[in-house]
Amino acid sequence: MLVQICCSVDSHYFLRKLKEIYPGVRIIGYFYDPNIHPYSEFLLRYDDVKRSAKTLGIEVILGDYELDEWFRFVRGLENEPEKGERCQKCFDFRMEKTAILAKKLGENSITTTLLMSPKKSHAQLQKSLSEICARFNLDFVAPDFRKNGGSKAQFDLAKKDNLYHQNYCGCIYAMKMQNKASLEFELMSAINHQIWPNSPEDRVLFYRNLRTLEEQKVKFRLQKDSFINYRLLRGLVKFDEKAIKSYFLFNSHFERNLVKFGINYECDEFVKNEIRVFSFDKFKELSKLNFKSFDELLKKPLSVNEELNLREKICQKGSFSPIIIVEKIVPAKVKIEAFSKIYLDVREILVTF
């Protein structure tokens, strides 16, 4: 039996139940989630699925990350509600790929762990499995393990085994309908590869650390933590209408999207109201780091924690005043175009004992 897997929270319980009901049947997992993005989030879910399946002795095959193909398949259904026509098309898309792989592997039946998700329609999934399997001459099973306390048992097991419980279930269209802006912000990644708080890359590192503690038999618990998060969505500095290279320290928040002022002399530090501009030489002096060039800083920035520590030297702890580094500060008419967000967010933290 080939089992399409969506995430570890659903598969962890579902696969156990399948093994109980079909003790003599070979079960192979197929992680195929082309609708999940960004790619780092996709890989994080796959890593957790592999770990979960390993405890059951179940092999998991990694499917191709076919995001563009999935977008084309559901085009025109972006505004459909959850359990609407887009979901049906998405199930058809994934079940067809599962059926193709099953035939290639010589398996004669398929199913999906999506059947475990309380946010998915069992009837839609059963319809998709039935129609796809009829086309490919395959059998299917569509058990409803959510009944009789199954959903509670599923989540209790996931919590007990410290599984990665993602903040959004499916695609970006369903996520947007949750009307929670922080979800969209946390999916953003820095183009300079800096790891932002509560980003997919940050969660990858968090769960790697968690697994290391498990291997070392260190006692810990997961705990929710509220904090003020930040995203710079746009940042541009112009001297005399010409865009220049610039670097915005983390937590540089702007109340206005456009700021204008003049600099009348060459200097290493300039302050205008709450905005602080430093030359690259002054930045190196403050940070005590020996970057060879400004381009090196742009390509290989400090970590967020290092930037926050530097910010604390310049301002007080918890400051959101804009701090901008440029190569040189020269006399010019300055224009700063910036769009940033600060928002209440929730993340997981590890408490050891």
Q: Is 87 annotated as a binding residue?
A: yes
Are 282 and 268 contacting, i.e. CB atoms less than 8 angstroms apart?
A: yes
Distance, CA of 38 to CA of 5 (rounded, Å): 18
Q: Please indicate if the annotation marks 169 as binding a ligand.
A: no
Q: What are phi and psi of 261, to 5 degrees?
A: -165, 170
Known binder of ligand: residue 6?
yes
Judged by DSSP in three states, 151 sits in: helix
3-state secondary structure of 82: coil
Q: Closest Cα to residue 157, out of 8, 279, 35?
A: 8
CA of residue 299 relative to chain centroid, distance: 22
Do residues 290 and 303 lie in contact, with contact meaning Cβ atoms separated by under 8 Å?
A: no
Distance between CA atoms of residues 175 and 45, nearest Å: 16
Judge whether 171 is annotated as a binding position: no
Neighbours of 255 (CB within 10 A): 10
DSSP for 299-328 reads HSPPPHHHHHHHHHHHS-TT----EEEES-
Q: 160-176 burial, b for 16+ CB within 10 Å, e for fewer?
A: eebbbebbbbbbbbbbe
Could you write out the DSSP letters of every residue in 165-211? --SS-S-HHHHHTTT-HHHHHHT---TT----TTSHHHHHHHHHHHH
Spatial CA neighbour of 181 closest among 3, 2, 344:
344
Terminal-to-terminal C-alpha distance of the chain: 42
The alpha carbon torsion through 130, 131, 137, 141 (nearest 10 deg) reads -20
Annotated binding site for [4Fe-4S] cluster: 6-7, 87, 90
Annotated binding site: 6-7, 87, 90
